[in-house]
Amino acid sequence: MGPPPYDGCMTAADQPQVAPYDALLLLSFGGPEKPEDVVPFLENVTRGRGIPRERLEEVGQHYFGFGGRSPINDQNRALLAAIREDLAAAGIDLPVYWGNRNWDPYLADAVSEMRADGIERAAVFTTSAYSSYSSCRQYRENLADVGAEVDGAPRLERLRQYYNHPGFVEPFVDETVRALGSLPETARDDAHLLFVTHSIPLAMNDGSGARGGAYVAQHLDVMAEVVEQVAARIGRTPQHELVYCSRSGAPHIPWLEPDVNDRLEEMAAEGVTSVVMVPIGFVSDHMEVVYDLDTEAMATAEGLGMAAARAGTPGTDPRFVALVRDLLLERAAAERGEVPVRTTVGSLGPGPDLCAVGCCPNPRAPRPAACGVDS
């Protein structure tokens, strides 16, 4: 997993090699920071996507309930600071920028700033771990758009998907063990684990990855790995399953199910009395987590008389921050023609540096996307 932390005795020759890159760009979703931002933010997210008016009003209320401020931008500020510290501690002198798809600071502004600073070729880390149109190709389309929009934009090379990197998986293991331990003693031993991710349309899952179905397959692989590591720690294998949150879209279009709330009701009827929710679909505790899980699903569990706890997301866990450095150094080595170690856990192996032709297709109409074998 990358070089050892900088111990103060490193010589220039020992410094990890980031060439050919001269910058790193953190690319994220973005979120509103005050009540006036909420509606224009939602318009940015849903433009041309056929999300019913009622759903938008409902989601707007989630944001207003938190003072019109999503936690996501502050979480990215913290991640940005942690990445800068981690790189510096490893003796890597590389500027790190941040831009979003849907809200200020926008990707185009970050890339304009990079161009003004003379950046020529940057690696791009997205806050999205899995393969699907929303979590992969849509970011690649954003990179293609900004390349066309910003004259003289640097080359932007998206780092591979990292759902099965130990720096993403291990924080969930620790947090699952911690959350189990936070349940009342009588509820601990038969608590079920509910692994939770963002629902997407069935058709989007069917198209995800190079051969289809990758979104669900990747989550099942992460779930199996977390369960195995948790079992090794607690000496038993808890019951576990994958469920979904944050369904959107028109009601007649099928999305991945079961919804976490529906499943909690069924489980209560089946006699389950305690659960731990493990939000493996998410990198930080943003609105989907603090509203859809901590507010809505927790209220559902409480209403059913179940004991419930939630595991935290990677956020700024030092292992997750070091993952960014590991992927950067891995890709830099590959671009120099070396054959780097590509660290993964689970059964699926590392994803490609460049996405396959036609993977994770745009559900509406094909658009140019960067960072594919055909771009």
At its nearest, how many Å lie between ligand HT9 and the CB of residue 324? 15
286 binds ligand HT9 (CB under 6 A): yes
**Beta strands in 300-349, from DSSP E residues, in sequence order:** 307-310
134 a known binding residue? no
Where does residue 15 rank: exposed (0-12), middle (13-18), buried (19+ CB within 10 A)? middle
Residue 198 labelled as part of a binding site: yes
Q: Is 139 labeled as ligand-binding? A: yes
Q: Does 158 engage in binding with ligand HT9 (CB under 6 A)?
A: no
Cβ contact 97:23 at 8 Å = yes
x/- binding map, residues 52-81, to ligand HT9, per CB under 6 A?
---x---x----------xxx---------
Single-letter amino acid code for the residue at 70: S
Is position 192 annotated in a ligand binding site? no
Site for ligand HT9 contains 155 (CB under 6 A):
no
x/- contact string, 210-239, with ligand HT9 (CB under 6 A)? ------------------------------
Closest CA to 361 of 201, 145, 252: 201
267 closest CA partner among 308, 232, 235, 227:
308
When binding is defined by CB under 6 A, the residue of 14, 35, 40, 49 that contacts ligand HT9 is 49
CB closer to ligand HT9, 166 vs 281: 281
Q: Give the C-alpha separation, 192 to 77, whole Å.
A: 34
- Whether residue 171 is preceded by a cis peptide bond, meaning omega within 30 degrees of 0, is no
- 361 C-beta neighbours (distance < 10 Å), count: 17
- Residue 135 binding ligand HT9, by CB under 6 A: yes
In this structure, which amino acid lies at residue 210?
A: A
Residue 188 CA, chain-centre distance (Å), reads 28
How far is residue 194's CA from residue 240's CA, in Å, rounded to a whole number? 6
Q: Cβ closer to ligand HT9: 281 or 312?
A: 281
User: Which of 59, 272 has the CB closer to ligand HT9?
Assistant: 59
- Pick the binder of ligand HT9 from 119, 191, 287, 371 (CB under 6 A): 287
Distance CA 373, CA 157 (A): 12
Enumerate binding residues for ligand HT9 (CB under 6 A): 29, 31, 42, 45-46, 49, 51, 55, 59, 70-72, 127-128, 132, 134-135, 198, 200, 246, 248-249, 281, 286-288
Binding residues, by number, are 70, 139, 198, 288
Binding residues for Fe-coproporphyrin III, by number, are 70, 139
